[in-house]
Structure 1
Amino acid sequence: MRLAFLGTPDFAVAALAAIVEAGHEVACVYSQPPAPRGRGHELKPSPVHAFAEARGIPVRTPASMRDPAEIEAFAALGLDAAVVVAFGQILPAAVLDAPRLGSYNVHASLLPRWRGAAPIQRAIMAGDKVTGVQVMRMTEGLDEGPVLSTATVRIDAQETAGTLHDRLAAAGADLIVRTLADIAAGTAVATPQAEEGVTYAKKISPKFSRLDWTKPGPVLDCKIRGLSPFPGAWFELPTEKGPVRVKALLSAFEDVDGAPGVSLDDRLLIGTGEGAVRLLRVQREGKGPQDAEAFLRGNPVPAGTKLP
């Protein structure tokens, strides 16, 4: 089919690569405009933009898809369908309805649970045991369209947002290729979403990332893994030169008693409002990620250390 692909982050690259590999004609790729990245704050293209450009696919980076000129240019592409994966803009009906067979979104949750911007992080933070990826036909409502296909993915006990992101991206890439084949053949069936069980995956606010050790251990464990590697749940570690910020990147809950925020041994077992959390991987501010054992060689945290 003749397609347009609208996507921005790494998560979307896998789907675009699979669509190209499957032999579809990608007439144009749409992505968010280049943004300042890295220490030099240079303007750099998004991962999807860079991937498409390297393969000679035309790229457009409109500030808004509601611009009448952009809508006209999109309609002029003469598309069979459009595929949207984490594009980053709300698309108007004039864009969604322009392709002959409609516009389709790859979404990283089992809808209607976790509609919105951060479904991967929110699923882990909520303690969900299962999530997945779905292809839906897009409507103007936020992730409200009927679902055409589903791939279910189990969330492991040591799952982080980073590892789940990669697994769901791969599953989504496979799913969109199979679903496009069904759409082309006229055999795809769109099933309306359930009206019950709707939840919203709000964007993660930086102020939400600090750890409160008075919260229950299972909640903190899920929060740590759900925010890893980005933006990273963090706490302050007291040192001789003053407190330093440390990100907790991997953890495990342990059912032992201890005062909240107090180190219960010399190996980063921290008491909480319920049980304790074992920190397995951390990152001191200005340093790279380290396993707990390596971190403790340069930053000892003896039993009895009180974390703010």
Structure 2
Amino acid sequence: MRIAFMGTPPFAVPTLAALHAAGHDIAAVYTQPPRPAQRGKKLQQSAVHHWAEEHGLPVRTPKSLKGEEAQAEFAALGLDIAVVAAYGLILPQAVLDAPREGCLNVHGSVLPRWRGAAPVQRAILAGDRETGVTIMQMDAGLDTGGMRLVESTLIAGKSAGYLTDELAEMGALMMVRVLSDLHAFPPTPQPDEGVTYAAKIDKSEARLDFLTGAVQVERQIRAFNPIPGAFFELDGERYKILAAEVAHPADTIAGAVPGTTIDDTLSIACNPGAIRASRIQRAGKPAMAAEELLRGRPIAKGTRLA
């Protein structure tokens, strides 16, 4: 099939790679323009841009698809279909209508649960037992289109980073399967019940809230690993907790104020319960085991973390 691929972050790369390996004619790869990154603010290509150039695919980086010129250029590709995976730009109706078979999206949830920008993180924060991938026929709504294929996986203590990688690989295989026989996977309307929205993650949400209880704090740590990283502050320095276990899920720790260490191994009181950090990262330093951190920077029992 003659395809335009539209995606930006690492999540989208497995689908692009799978389409390329399956022998589809990729007429153009659309991705977000290069953006300033890291301390030097040097322009950096997206993960999709980098992969596409490495494999000799034509890349387009419009800032918007709302203009008539951009829409005419897209229509002129003569596409059978467009495949979208975390592109980051809204597709106007003219773009949705241009390919003969419309546009298909790789969405990282079991729709209609967690429509929107951050389905993986929101599923973890909500304590969902499972999530998955939906191959969706796109329409003008926010992830409201018909479902062509849905598959699920258990969350089971996975971090957002691990789960995102897993869903990316799932979605790639699912998309290739759907494109192999579109008629075998007709779009099915989404249920009216069970709709939830996955709002974009705000960096302020990453500050650990030990008043929410140990179970929720552990979810917060997994949901924000690796980005933006769940953190506390101590003596004006930021510490990201990258992994932790629930040490006391529901017990009230006698005399412990939430956010206070209850031993010398970085176990932290919550309300209720406590968590024990196992992997941590100081600002500007590499990630390390909590034991390694504490050898160089002891945090004594009774220390209040902000």
Question: How high is the TM-score relative to the length of structure 1?
Answer: 0.96
In the alignment, what sits opposite 1:10?
Answer: 10
Counterpart of 1:232, as a letter, is G
In the alignment, what sits opposite 2:239?
Answer: 246
1:92-134 CA distance string (max 9 Å, x none):
1110111111110000001111111111111111111100011
In the alignment, what sits opposite 1:257?
Answer: 252
**1:38 CA drift (Å):** 2.2
2: CA distance, partners of 1:152 / 1:206: 28
In the alignment, what sits opposite 1:292?
Answer: 290
**1:151 CA drift (Å):** 1.7
In the alignment, what sits opposite 1:144?
Answer: 144
1:41-64 CA distance string (max 9 Å, x none):
111211101111111111110010
In the alignment, what sits opposite 2:116?
Answer: 116
1:268 maps onto 2:261 in alignment: no
In the alignment, what sits opposite 1:176?
Answer: 175
2: CA distance, partners of 1:191 / 1:298: 57
Count of aligned pairs between the two proteins: 301
2: CA distance, partners of 1:14 / 1:293: 36
Counterpart of 1:3, as a letter, is I
Q: Secondary structure of the residue that 2:40 maps to in structure 1?
A: coil
Identify which of 217, 222, 226 aligns with 1:220.
Answer: 217
1: CA distance, partners of 2:209 / 2:134: 34
**1:160 CA drift (Å):** 0.7
Q: Secondary structure of the residue that 1:91 maps to in structure 2?
A: coil
Q: Secondary structure of the residue that 1:3 maps to in structure 2?
A: strand
Q: Secondary structure of the residue that 1:214 maps to in structure 2?
A: helix
Q: Secondary structure of the residue that 1:83 maps to in structure 2?
A: strand
Q: How does 1:84-163 map to 2 (within 5 A)?
A: 84-157=84-157, 159-163=158-162
Query: Which segment is superposed worse, 81-90 or 254-263?
Result: 254-263
2: CA distance, partners of 1:249 / 1:223: 10
1: CA distance, partners of 2:305 / 2:61: 45
**1:264 CA drift (Å):** 1.3
In the alignment, what sits opposite 1:44?
Answer: 44
**1:39 CA drift (Å):** 2.0
1:54-83 CA distance string (max 9 Å, x none):
111111100101111010011110100000
**1:268 CA drift (Å):** 1.1
Question: How high is the TM-score relative to the length of structure 2?
Answer: 0.96
1:224-252 CA distance string (max 9 Å, x none):
11001100111012xxxx33110111111
Counterpart of 2:21, as a letter, is E
In the alignment, what sits opposite 2:201?
Answer: 204
Structure 1 residues not aligned, in runs of 5+: none
In the alignment, what sits opposite 2:226?
Answer: 229
Structure 2 residues not aligned, in runs of 5+: none
2: CA distance, partners of 1:147 / 1:272: 41
2: CA distance, partners of 1:297 / 1:25: 56
Q: Secondary structure of the residue that 1:106 maps to in structure 2?
A: strand
